[in-house]
Every structure is written in structure tokens, then in C-alpha cells.
């Protein structure tokens, strides 16, 4: 599968107006996202996430390194024509209606702004009834939805979304997740930058963690959150279990009445389970122990800082 | 083509701004006032009597086209200098608005080249200036033509000179904005260019009375490149009032003004291409 984009050894430093001080925004970032995937970039404020997106789209120029965007260069308008972008804060023309704004975006993308198509986009983001209203009266969530609709103009191959659910109510977030799932099913690539880890977890199958301009973790979500060689088991409530027996077999109490066990391989895991069953335990659930994204992020940031 | 789309978007944006609505209303109101309050009696092509708000203005009988020349001359100067002042204040925010955070990032993510955005903004503002100047002068020509039967297109042509003059000033305002995003600085640059353009008109006379020194050299350098706006205004007045005009002089004046604007736009585009947002 070819890459939607590939960044190689990307460096970017920002200097103050008189060049006295400088800060490192990107420090040798290598990242490749295959087409058709949903990739989430997470990290603390100032990690360089937005700078990375700007370099990706040609909005900022990297000091060194290369970016390949949909097989071309970010500076090439033909590459950007196939990208939909939702910036973190989008300034919208308050006096315009959402339909007029989307028509302008379509024209700037060299597309014919068909009214039915624009109304269809507004309906997809839940703004059909606001099509004739002035944007200046929109709430933050409505502006965010309109920004998303603008990103969807022209059915782009790559969607770059900076905090797509920011300011959107919980029901709206569900709608946006469904919409993004539909885009993914269409074959679009999603690149999401979000500080809402739970949202990122629900949408993206691959995650990258950026810290101080460096990509400190990258890979499938499952691999990043799973804890190697640890298993979580749950036994049926019923005949009282002697915790001492499980503790003696190497089981450790976990949250919600579950137990965890370290097992380097399948035979070791089965030996422990056989021992538990021999002690009267009835196994009802077995899964690889995993952490949530927050724990992964915390650990990655701590490792990056060390 | 994309520059035209950007320019049209700017015009749509301007249509929603109070400044420009106020200007359109003021110009329309002024024209309506002239229609309703000015009475011109023309007999055999001669202006026999003029009344404004019922009060007689002129007592001399002279050909209507001759009588209207000073009117068109004054109108052309009002359009030229008034348009420059209004444009400097009213258009100072377009560049900074284009470069505002949250807007410029989005525009640059679209399949639009940076120079196209800059050129589109310039063309949009130029179209706005042209529309205002032509509306005012064409309105006056229509009103006076209907009242006197004297029809001339020269006042409208002269208003194009006013738009060209403003274009050179706005190119400087836009170039400064690409470096520092500030509406106040943009307006200050515009005002400085208008002032310098006025001084450049009397460059030779002023240099003669100035003592030697750095100030004189600086003044000589600045006024050598800034278009002499006073000369352009004189040419606009001469065109509007059908006065004789050396065609070669006007062509040189226009060529210099356009070259000045093109150089500033090229400088702005050079910086814009390299800037991070």
C-alpha cells in the first residue's frame, strides 16, 4: 500500500524576530502513514503537532528533511487539491452563510459549487437547517462542524483534522465519529491531531506520540496499549475462591475484581490457569492486559524526558 | 483564475463591511441630493440659469459643456483625493484579515499558490477602488447629462486614474502587511505614501530649497521612486474637464505608477513565499 504522506527527518526551529532565541519545534521526525488508514498524533501542548501538520501541508517550511504528500510535494497545488484540512482554530467569514462559505472553498479548489452537493455536505455535518443563517451567529460546535464540512469539499483522499471534535457536544462527537468512519470506508486517509485521547482511541487504529519535537512512539494502537506477557483474567463468582491460592499461583488482583498474571508464553499461561481451575476457579474471561492511551502517553513522555 | 476567485471573495466580504456600505449610501445620497436640489436651465445648448436649493448660482450665460468643466474638475479631485484617503482607511484591514491566524493556514492548505492569494487580494481591493470611483463619477455624469444634455465619458476615464493611483498606494500597504500583520501599520504606510506622493509632485522645487545632507539625500531617493500623485491628480482633473493633456506625459506617469506597484507586489510575493504561518 502506498503512503498518503511520508515525512523524513523533519527539522523545524522557530526564531524570534531578532533571531536571539530559538525553539525546536520538530527534531528529526520520521513518519509514514499508509493510504486508507486512520492515524492519530497525540502529545502535550507545544510538542510540535501543529507544526508537523503545517510542514505536511506546505504552510510552514521545514529547515531540513522532506515531505511527500500523496505522491507529490506539499508546495504543489495538485497534491493539496486532494487534501481536506480542518485547522485547530478556523476563522470564518461571519457575514457569510455556510453555503456561501462552502461555495467559496469549492471555487478555490477549482470545483463547481453545486448547490445540492453543498447542501448535502451541510446535512452530513448536521447544519442543514442553518444553511441560510449568518456564520457570525454560530456556536463553537457549529463552526467546528462547518470547518469539517469545508474539509470534506471535493471528497479528498487525505483528511488532516486538528482537534476535529473540539467544542462539539457528546452527541455531535458521535455523529462526527460516524462521519469519519464513513470517510474511512470510502477509502480516505485520516490524520487526526487531538488532545482528546479517548476520541483518538475510538477513531484511529495507529497512533504516534510526539514529544518535544520528536516522535517517541508510533505504531498500531493495540500494540502500544497492550502489555506484553501480561494477561487479565476473570473468574466466575460462585464457590468462594481463596485469594491466597491465586496469589500463590502468581495472580495479582486487578481493577473490578479481575486478576492479572505474567506469563512469558502460552504453556506458562495455561499452567497458571490449570492451577487456578484446580483450586476451584471457573474461568469466564481472558484477554491480553492493556493500558489506556493516557498511560501510554504518560509513559512515553516520561521516557522521552529521560 | 484563482486570483479572480480570491478577488471576488474579497468583494463579497467588503459588501458586508459597514465602511463600504456607508460609502455606497453616502455616494448614492449625494447623487440623489444633486438630482433633487440642482436645477439647470439649458437653452439652445447654453446654460441660462442654475439654482441650488432654489437659490440662483450662476448669472452668466455660457455653453453648457464649458460651464460643466469646472464641476467635473472639482468632482475629479474629490474622487481622487477623497478616494485615496477613504481607501487607505477602509482597505487597511484586508491584508491583515487575509493573514489572520486560522484563515491563512486554511487558505494555504487549499490548492492555491501563495502569489495567487496576494494578487487576488490586490485585485479585489483595486476592483473595489475602481467601482467606488466609477460609481461616483459615472453617477455625476448621468445626473448632469440628464439635466443639461451634455454627455461626456472623460470624468469616468479620469476616475480610473484615481483607482490606479490608489493601486500603487495599496501595493505598499500590502507589502508592509506581509512583513507585519497590522491594520494600523498598513494605514500608516498608505498615509505616508500619499504624503510622499504629494511631495514627489513638487520634488524639484523642494530639493532646490533643501540644504545638503542626509535628509536631502533620503528625500531625493524616496521621492524618486514614489509616484507623483499630485501630477496624476492634475492629469485626472485635466481629463475630466476636457483640458489639453500631453499624451506622452500621461503614459510615462502611468507606466511609472504601475511599475512602482508591480515592484512592491513582487517584493511582497517574495516575502510571502518564504514566510511560515
Residues B80-95 have pLDDT tens digits of: 999 999 999 999 999 9
Residues B198-223 have pLDDT tens digits of: 999 999 999 988 888 898 999 999 99
Q: Do B110 and A108 touch (CB under 8 A)?
A: yes
Answer left, alpha or beta for residue A36, where phi above 0 means left and psi between -120 and 50 means alpha.
Answer: left
Residues B33-69 have pLDDT tens digits of: 888 888 877 777 777 777 777 777 766 778 878 888 8
**B182 in contact with chain A, both atoms CB, cutoff 8 A:** no
CA distance A239 to A236: 9
Model pLDDT, residue A146: 95
Nearest Cβ partner for B105 among A54, A104, A110: A54
Nearest Cβ partner for B106 among A61, A85, A107: A85
Residues of chain B with Cβ-Cβ distance to A85 below 8 Å are 105-106, 109
**A232 in contact with chain B, both atoms CB, cutoff 8 A:** no
Model pLDDT, residue A183: 95
DSSP A255: G
What's the gap in Å between the CA of B137 and the closest CA on chain A?
29
Residues of chain B with Cβ-Cβ distance to A105 below 8 Å are 110
For residue A142, give the nearest of A98, A197, A107, A101 by alpha carbon: A98
Residues of chain A with Cβ-Cβ distance to B102 below 8 Å are 87-91
Residues A173-218 have pLDDT tens digits of: 888 899 999 999 999 999 999 877 877 888 898 999 998 899 988 8
For residue B16, give the chain A residue with the closest CA: A95
**B2 in contact with chain A, both atoms CB, cutoff 8 A:** yes
For residue A160, give the chain B residue with the closest CA: B109
Residues of chain A with Cβ-Cβ distance to B9 below 8 Å are 104
CA distance A40 to A258: 30
First vs last C-alpha separation in chain A: 36
Model pLDDT, residue B238: 93
Q: Which residues contact A295 (CB under 8 A, 6 or more apart)?
A: A225
Model pLDDT, residue A91: 92
Q: How many domains does chain B have?
A: 1
- More confident: B188 or A291: B188
Model pLDDT, residue A219: 87
Q: Which residues contact A238 (CB under 8 A, 6 or more apart)?
A: A282
- More confident: A243 or B160: B160
Low-confidence ranges of chain A (pLDDT < 70): 1, 17, 19-21, 226-228, 238-241, 304-306
DSSP A241: P
Whether residue B97 has pLDDT greater than 90: yes
Model pLDDT, residue B190: 97
What's the gap in Å between the CA of B105 and the closest CA on chain A?
6
A14 to A24, A63, B105, B241, B270: CA distances (angstroms): 6, 10, 17, 57, 20
Q: Do A160 and B109 touch (CB under 8 A)?
A: yes
**B109 in contact with chain A, both atoms CB, cutoff 8 A:** yes
**A95 in contact with chain B, both atoms CB, cutoff 8 A:** yes
**A55 in contact with chain B, both atoms CB, cutoff 8 A:** no
User: Domain of B84?
Assistant: 2-274
CB B68 within 8 A of CB B40: no
Model pLDDT, residue B113: 95
Whether residue B179 has pLDDT greater than 90: yes
The residue-averaged pLDDT of B234-248 equals: 87
Whether residue B246 has pLDDT greater than 90: no
Q: Which ipTM was obtained for this model?
A: 0.82
**A89 in contact with chain B, both atoms CB, cutoff 8 A:** yes
For residue A112, the tally of other CB atoms under 10 A from its CB is 8
- In total, the C-beta contacts within 8 angstroms joining chain A to chain B are 73
**A160 in contact with chain B, both atoms CB, cutoff 8 A:** yes
* Arithmetic mean of pLDDT over chain B: 91
Whether residue B161 has pLDDT greater than 80: yes
Residues of chain B with Cβ-Cβ distance to A88 below 8 Å are 102
- More confident: B19 or A91: A91
Domains of chain A: 3-223 (3.40.50.300), 227-291 (3.30.70)
Q: How many CA atoms lie within 13 A of A262 on its CB side?
A: 2
Nearest Cβ partner for A91 among B9, B102, B112: B102
Residues of chain A with Cβ-Cβ distance to B6 below 8 Å are 108
Selected residues 127-156 of chain A with any CB under 8 Å from a CB in chain B:
150
**B41 in contact with chain A, both atoms CB, cutoff 8 A:** no
**B105 in contact with chain A, both atoms CB, cutoff 8 A:** yes
**Its pTM surpasses 0.90:** no
**A271 in contact with chain B, both atoms CB, cutoff 8 A:** no
pLDDT band at B18 (very low <50, low <70, confident <90, very high): confident
Nearest Cβ partner for A104 among B1, B9, B108: B9
Amino acid at each position: 500500500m502506498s503512503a498518503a504522506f511520508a515525512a523524513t527527518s523533519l527539522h523545524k526551529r522557530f526564531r524570534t524576530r531578532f533571531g536571539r532565541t530559538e525553539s525546536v519545534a520538530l527534531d528529526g521526525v520520521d513518519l509514514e502513514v499508509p493510504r486508507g488508514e486512520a492515524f492519530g498524533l497525540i502529545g502535550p501542548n507545544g510538542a510540535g503537532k501543529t507544526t508537523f501538520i503545517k510542514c505536511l501541508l506546505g504552510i510552514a517550511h521545514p529547515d531540513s528533511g522532506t515531505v511527500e504528500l500523496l505522491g507529490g510535494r506539499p508546495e504543489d497545488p495538485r497534491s493539496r487539491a486532494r487534501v481536506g484540512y480542518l485547522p485547530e482554530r478556523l476563522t470564518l467569514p461571519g457575514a457569510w452563510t455556510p453555503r456561501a462559505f462552502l461555495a467559496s472553498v469549492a471555487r478555490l479548489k477549482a470545483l463547481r459549487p453545486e448547490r445540492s452537493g453543498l447542501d448535502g455536505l451541510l446535512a452530513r455535518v448536521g447544519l442543514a437547517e442553518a444553511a441560510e443563517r449568518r456564520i457570525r451567529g454560530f456556536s463553537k460546535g457549529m463552526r467546528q462542524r462547518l470547518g469539517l464540512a469545508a474539509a470534506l469539499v471535493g471528497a479528498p483522499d487525505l483528511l488532516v483534522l486538528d482537534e476535529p471534535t473540539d467544542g462539539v457536544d457528546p452527541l455531535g462527537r458521535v455523529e462526527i465519529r460516524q462521519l469519519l468512519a464513513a470517510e474511512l470506508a470510502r477509502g480516505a486517509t485520516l490524520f487526526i491531531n487531538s488532545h482528546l485521547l479517548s476520541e483518538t482511541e475510538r477513531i484511529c487504529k495507529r497512533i504516534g506520540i510526539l514529544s518535544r519535537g520528536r516522535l517517541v512512539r508510533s505504531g498500531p494502537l493495540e500494540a502500544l496499549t497492550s502489555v506484553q506477557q501480561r494477561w487479565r483474567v476473570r473468574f466466575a463468582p460462585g464457590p468462594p475462591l481463596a485469594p491466597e491460592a491465586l496469589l500463590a499461583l502468581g495472580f495479582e488482583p486487578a481493577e473490578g475484581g479481575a486478576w492479572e498474571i505474567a506469563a512469558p508464553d502460552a504453556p506458562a499461561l495455561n499452567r497458571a490457569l490449570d492451577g487456578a481451575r484446580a483450586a476451584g476457579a471457573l474461568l469466564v474471561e481472558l484477554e491480553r492486559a492493556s493500558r489506556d492511551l493516557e498511560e501510554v502517553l504518560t509513559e512515553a513522555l516520561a521516557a522521552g524526558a529521560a | 483564475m484563482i486570483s479572480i476567485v480570491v478577488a471576488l471573495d474579497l468583494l463579497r466580504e467588503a459588501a458586508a463591511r459597514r465602511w463600504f456600505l456607508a460609502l455606497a449610501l453616502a455616494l448614492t445620497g449625494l447623487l440623489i441630493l444633486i438630482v433633487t436640489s440642482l436645477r439647470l436651465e439649458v437653452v439652445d445648448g447654453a446654460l441660462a440659469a442654475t439654482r441650488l436649493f432654489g437659490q440662483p448660482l450662476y448669472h452668466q450665460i455660457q455653453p453648457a459643456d464649458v460651464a460643466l468643466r469646472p464641476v467635473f474638475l472639482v468632482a475629479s479631485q474629490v474622487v481622487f483625493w477623497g478616494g485615496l484617503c477613504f481607501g487607505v482607511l477602509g482597505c487597511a484591514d484586508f491584508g491583515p484579515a487575509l493573514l489572520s491566524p486560522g484563515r491563512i493556514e486554511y487558505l494555504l492548505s487549499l490548492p492555491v499558490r501563495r502569489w495567487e492569494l496576494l494578487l487576488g487580494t490586490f485585485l479585489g481591493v483595486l476592483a473595489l477602488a475602481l467601482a467606488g470611483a466609477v460609481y461616483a463619477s459615472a453617477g455625476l455624469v448621468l445626473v448632469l447629462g440628464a439635466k443639461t444634455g451634455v454627455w461626456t465619458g472623460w470624468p469616468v476615464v479620469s476616475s480610473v486614474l484615481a483607482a490606479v493611483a490608489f493601486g500603487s498606494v495599496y501595493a505598499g500597504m500590502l507589502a508592509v502587511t506581509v512583513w507585519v500583520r497590522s491594520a494600523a501599520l498598513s494605514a500608516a504606510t498608505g498615509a505616508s505614501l500619499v504624503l510622499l506622493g504629494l511631495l514627489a509632485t513638487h520634488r524639484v522645487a523642494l530639493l532646490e530649497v533643501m540644504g545638503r545632507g542626509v535628509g536631502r539625500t533620503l528625500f531625493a531617493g524616496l521621492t524618486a521612486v514614489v509616484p507623483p500623485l499630485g501630477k496624476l491628480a492634475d492629469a485626472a482633473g485635466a481629463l475630466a474637464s476636457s483640458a489639453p493633456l500631453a499624451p506622452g506625459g500621461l503614459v510615462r506617469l502611468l507606466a511609472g505608477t504601475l511599475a512602482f506597484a508591480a515592484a512592491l507586489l513582487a517584493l511582497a510575493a517574495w516575502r510571502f513565499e518564504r514566510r511560515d504561518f
